[in-house]
Amino acid sequence: MRRADRLFQILQILRRSTLPVTAAKLAEELEVSKRTIYRDMADLAGQRVPVEGEAGAGYILSSDYNMPLLMFTAEELEAIFLGAELVRRLPDATLANNASDVLAKIASVVPARLLGCLSYSAVGIKPDESDRFKPDTRNIRIAIREGKKLLLDYCSSAGDITQRTVWPVVLGYDQNCCLLISWCELRGGFRHFRAERIRQATILNEDIGSSRSELRNRWERWRDNEMRQLNAEYVRGKGG
């Protein structure tokens, strides 16, 4: 690996970590000696890169440091391409379009020698031949990001339309379904709503009744408890 590439990789590792990274850890991931890492850290300091820490204690990159963008390796471009292709298969029209936009933006700026990683990628997934409906979840995702309540016009499996005021937590995806997990004011508990049954999602000018992190933590505790109960019921059923 060239020295310039190694310095960039060090910054990538530090950027993705929230805790100090030791020279030993950097050396192991980059397959070089700790002495090489110490020299590289000195070089970065000489280039006025705001890396804090010291040998033995670990290094951390200052949060206000902006790295040059779009310096991708062939392997990274293949990972991006595969991720975008998977997103384009999800039952979500807006995210599918966003994934295509991301690939187009990257293709417009990467060096010509790497364009083949996107145009003729070495990785791929099975084409989506279904004609299923893909809902637009833009308002839902905005409400989640901004911590706002949503008013849903929701169609039940029987075809009945009801209105629900919810505190949205997260959108969950698999290849065939998109679920909105939220706190339902009507039911006084967490509920799952199928995105394709949401006829309209209106963002209300009301904040959810807690912080986003608190609501997420509450849902995770509820989910874990539900899973424990299901497992216990399964074990009891096997024993009977």
- Torsion angle of C-alpha atoms 7, 10, 16, 20, degrees rounded to 10: -140
CB within 8 A of 201, min separation 6: which ones?
137, 139, 140, 143, 150, 151, 152, 153
Q: Where are the alpha helices (DSSP H) in the chain?
A: 3-16, 23-30, 34-46, 74-88, 93-107, 116-119, 138-146, 212-239
pTM: 0.64
CATH assignment of 3-61, among 2.60.120.10, 1.10.10.10, 1.20.1090.10, 3.40.50.1220: 1.10.10.10
| Torsion angle, alpha carbons of 152, 179, 213, 163, to 10 | 10
Can you give the residue ranges of every domain in the chain? 3-61, 74-119, 138-234
Q: What is the pLDDT along the chain (240 residues), one digit of tens a residue?
A: 677 778 888 888 888 888 899 999 999 999 899 899 999 988 888 878 888 876 678 898 887 776 555 567 888 889 999 999 888 888 788 888 889 898 888 887 777 888 888 887 888 777 766 666 778 899 999 999 999 999 999 998 888 999 999 999 999 988 778 899 999 999 999 999 999 999 999 999 999 988 999 999 999 999 999 888 888 887 777 765
- The one-letter code for the residue type at 63 is S
Residue 165: strand, helix, or coil: strand
